[in-house]
Structure 1
């Protein structure tokens, strides 16, 4: 299978949410080497879709009403030859992701991952690599091992040569063939040859099994997993963008609420909502060329403007005027025109979305270092960046997709903070905060499980069981599904007063 430099990557999208599929279509674009070969609204539709057209990668949501992603992946594996499956899920759920690996998925990506990560994941899987999200890999592999303890057995790593062990270590860290070749200063052909011998010597069926083997046998430590350890490309200094003069006040944007912009301390009038939606489609894809067609699709969707691309020129002219610093020319504008579309010069501005990523990384680093209170403070700072619904009121599929992604990130931060607070014994504030978050996200099972634990720790066992009843009824009423295994286990632990399982022993 080849990457986009050699051939198009044909992708089958499987998700029961049309909005989610629309967001994926906007990310996996033809000019990046992708073709959406087909779409399915349920796992049961996948075999027919694969029979109807050639597919290189299946991007599969795990939670669907009828046939979920895990069962659909298992059926594909049992049917014989099939394209690789990249699992996609909203939930950072260890058992769910481990189940996807057991079913035969070659990797997974969380839905709140960046567009760049999703693109890299699909390309890696199409090229025959595994893709495991660095943020959760170590925990997921632990869950996988618990369900398949024989994985830790098998031939010893001593059967491998020194270079083969280096290649296996790199695979365990999540590197692609190209990254391994660059790291070890060997060719990609040599990497693939070494991998073939590694699989044969250790009896491994695929790259994902190799990652698990490396983790199980201590070849890779949990802290090493992820592409932060991959060779970093050389990034040349970008030219400084003048904003009229050296003393021009900075341009700032906020997307974690209604879209807003400031030049210095002065808030700018960004115009009508369609114009703002166009700006958001550029700002949130900074330093990328967005084609005219993509802007029309992302802002107007199925209701394109009668004037076609002319409206883009009008809106861009207005936005340039609005965002321009004193004395700045059109050529110096943060919105640039190319032959095929427009781009936004991202390094010339400050954005709260960028700051959100930075603080989230700080929280993760503090947690990894054992500084739990510091990690809680970082989560709080990140959550404080939100001031209402992200991109509130902006129309179009692009804004809708980004809104969903940013809301998911906010929920995930709330979950991370709650987990940390429980470890610190802050049960009262944890319960209060989770109750508020769950009230506006009533189907979030991980949040409900954490709230049950917090209430139980306060001695409010009946209230904890009431949380389970509420979310059970909500899920049955809205989706005709029962709560997942983790939530059911939490309820059972509360009923039998199992402090050990609930983490309070």
Structure 2
């Protein structure tokens, strides 16, 4: 039996050495008879140790003991336990870097190999951790964000985290990608690449390029950010958090297309801008700022009649679907195009 490394202070002070060895074995998935054989003690003695471990740690059953063994750092997903010696490299993950994508159906992969993330509620827990990268998420936040008003009758969060640790473990290193402390759970910093984080980094870089007077580079960076989207963000995931993030990230994508189109128009790349705005307007026919930008792009391309048609189509959709008239902004765009007032159709600044 390998030597047990120093673990969490609660487990260290409450459990005796033999009990820690038994808990370690439970965390590795061994049955009582296997633990007895590994430790060289009778099976009924193992059963007594298990009962005392549950009582001392206030755990409900063996499944809760397995989760506790992972949360306190005694074992990690994979075939073997921690080895003896100090715990070095805490906060870092060895082996292939895991990539998590939320800008579409939730996916995770390691070295291009897709990872199985389990059912949708479990995926929603991972999505919450990925979208809150850099900070711990409490069990209460996870329960409210993933289940909302339909709270589970049992404490399933640690069980889902345990399963996710196994799913995300690449097998090439000793460290879990999800760590636990008194504040809750979080992804180990630097252990996974999250596409939402990368998208926001590219948006910042695009803003810097604009301020540096490099609009073509800014267009390129916006394109790279948009390429990360693979459909509806967090498609199919349940819970209030996923729903809010779907709305936020969808609006983020719309904002990115608008910024890119503004830059393309300024660079004289009208056909490219118009094509993207046509597609965006078709996907979001009630989004008035998109309709207004498409109208301006068409007008600048010498297509005044098409620009006015966009207004009529949007006006009818607003009336039929929402029972409301066009906004003042959209009406003013229409009036300026109708007058041919090109000077008043200047684009807003892209600097943020």
- Give the TM-score of the pair, scaled to structure 1: 0.49
Q: Please point out which of 277, 296, 300 is paired with 1:434.
A: 277
Q: Please point out which of 158, 164, 177 is paired with 1:313.
A: 158
Distance 1:462 1:242 in 2: 59
Distance 1:476 1:321 in 2: 52
Asked if the contact 2:96–2:172 (Cα under 8 Å) also holds between the matched residues in 1, the reply is no
**Of Structure 1 and Structure 2, which has the larger fraction of its residues in strand?**
1
Distance 2:138 2:101 in 1: 23
Q: Please point out which of 207, 210, 213 is paired with 1:364.
A: 207
Q: Please point out which of 229, 232, 250 is paired with 2:97.
A: 250
> Is 2:172 the partner of 1:324?
no
Cα displacement (A) at 1:269: 0.6
Cα displacement (A) at 1:481: 2.7
Other structure's SS at 2:179 match:
strand
Superposed, 1:11-410 pairs within 5 Å as 241-243=91-93, 245=94, 248-307=95-154, 309=155, 311-326=156-171, 328-329=173-174, 332-339=175-182, 341-410=184-253
In structure 1, the gaps of 5 or more residues are 1-238
RMSD over equivalenced CA pairs, Å: 2.0
Other structure's SS at 2:190 match:
helix
Asked if the contact 2:92–2:190 (Cα under 8 Å) also holds between the matched residues in 1, the reply is no
Cα displacement (A) at 1:480: 2.9
Dislocated runs of 4+, deviation >4 Å: none
Q: Which residue in 2 is equivalent to 1:417?
A: 260
Larger radius of gyration: 2
- Give the TM-score of the pair, scaled to structure 2: 0.70
Asked if the contact 1:320–1:333 (Cα under 8 Å) also holds between the matched residues in 2, the reply is yes
In structure 2, the gaps of 5 or more residues are 1-88, 348-352
Kindly tell me the number of residue pairs found equivalent between the two proteins. 260
The one-character-per-residue Cα deviations of 1:140-189 (angstroms, maximum 9, x if unpaired) are xxxxxxxxxxxxxxxxxxxxxxxxxxxxxxxxxxxxxxxxxxxxxxxxxx
Asked if the contact 2:92–2:188 (Cα under 8 Å) also holds between the matched residues in 1, the reply is no
Asked if the contact 2:102–2:234 (Cα under 8 Å) also holds between the matched residues in 1, the reply is yes
Bigger RCO of structures 1 and 2 (CA < 8 A, at least 6 apart): 2
Distance 2:169 2:266 in 1: 49
Other structure's SS at 1:482 match:
coil
Asked if the contact 1:283–1:346 (Cα under 8 Å) also holds between the matched residues in 2, the reply is no
Q: Which residue in 1 is equivalent to 2:70?
A: none
Distance 2:302 2:185 in 1: 58
